[in-house]
Amino acid sequence: MGAALPCCIHQNIVPHNRRIVLCYGGHFSCKMELTGEVYMNEYIGIDIGGTKTAIVRGDENGTILEKKRFATTTKGETLEMIFQSVADLKTDQTKAIGVSCGGPLNSRTGVILGPPNLPGWDEVPITDMLTERFGLPAYLRNDADACAVAEWQFGAGKGAENMIFLTFGTGIGAGLILNGKLYEGTCGLAGEIGHVRLFEDGHVGYGKSGSYEGYVSGGGIAQYGKGTAAELGKRAEEGDPETLQIWAQTGEHLGSMLAILIDLLNPEVIVIGSIFVRAEKYLRASMEEKIRKEALKPGAEICRIVPAGLGESIGDIAALCVAMNL
């Protein structure tokens, strides 16, 4: 008998049957309103992270209806949990499945190409696997790109013409909204800023010693040997000087990275997720000082740098945006 699958937490967030009200707002925007069953297009979103995976059922307004989450373990075990969760959440109203995952990957072919935070996930044709099992269209997108679209559609970047989103979780990457469109590059690798080298040698991230991901990410912060980002956040609250210095260094490296993005792409807003949302007060001062030193002044002055507006829900909504092919 094989090993038991990891524990899955299941949340029923919104009742399946709801009352929808017709609404007007410059144009007629309505789904369907009846006193009984509600008929609205639904989607399944899959957010595969280096430490945890979440599967959500949601509607076309970005509302999360149900959610399952579990630890990301081996490739085989995690895929089996994904398939099982999709089967549990799928309804007659489900129109498509979206997968958000760290790169590298090929969004056009739907193949995961060995992300550094997912050991063993080499050449995984995830969209074909899902379509074959469930008979639904399936789409794959880099998590930074997916989050960029989510924040652009529903969050802190709403209405922006030129916006950058930074993941800043286990790893780090950028999603780019340029001239009002998602920019993915020739093979979906645009925005992999974590792979750029900061130092000749040092912390390892994205398979490269001295890379930005080796310093500006949860994995990079852990390489100082003083604990995880969450643990350092708690110690910073207590005023520990050594911990505060690590956060200040991380903020400086983040500012160096942002200065490059500001000079290259001249965005009006940069939205940063995950660790930045929780630790902004320890990062911002050194980050802004570095940007002032390194970036062109007109570009730096016009660019707002803000935490993700969707908070801890961003990964869920991002995966739904992939399913909706936004």
- Render pLDDT for 41-80 as a digit per residue (tens, 0 to 9): 999 999 998 889 999 999 988 899 999 999 999 999 999 9
Residue pLDDT, tens place only, 242-263: 999 999 999 999 999 999 999 9
Provide the 10 A C-beta neighbour count for residue 75.
15
Homologous superfamily of 8-14+42-145+316-323: ATPase, nucleotide binding domain (3.30.420.40)
* CA-based nearest residue to 291, from 256, 249, 253, 246: 256
Residue 289, CA distances (Å) to 15, 30, 230, 259 in order? 48, 48, 24, 11
The tokens describing 21, both together, are: 């009200």
Do the domains 156-309 and 8-14+42-145+316-323 match in fold? yes
Does 8 have pLDDT greater than 70? no
Rounded to an integer, what is the distance from CA 42 to the centroid of its chain? 21
Output the average pLDDT for the chain: 88
Residue pLDDT, tens place only, 213-244: 999 999 999 999 999 999 999 999 999 999 99
pLDDT class for 131, splitting at 50, 70, 90? very high
Give the sign of the dihedral formed by CA 115, CA 153, CA 52, CA 4.
Answer: negative
pLDDT at 202: 93
Does 91 have pLDDT greater than 90? yes
* CA-based nearest residue to 151, from 284, 276, 15, 291: 276
Q: Answer for the pair 101, 140: CB distance below 8 angstroms, yes or no.
A: yes
* CA-based nearest residue to 126, from 218, 53, 217, 219: 53
Does 267 have pLDDT greater than 70? yes
User: Domain spanning 156-309 has what CATH number?
Assistant: 3.30.420.40
Looking at the DSSP bridge assignments, the partners of residue 106 are 111
> Rounded to whole angstroms, how far apart are CA atoms 45 and 323?
6
Share of the chain above pLDDT 70, in %: 88
Name the residue with tokens 């529903």. Answer: 154
pLDDT at 10: 56
Share of the chain above pLDDT 90, in %: 74
> So where are the chain's domains?
8-14+42-145+316-323, 156-309
Q: Looking at residues 165-181, what average pLDDT do you find?
A: 93
Evaluate if pTM is beyond 0.85: no
pLDDT at 15: 44
> Rounded to whole angstroms, how far apart are CA atoms 106 and 188?
6
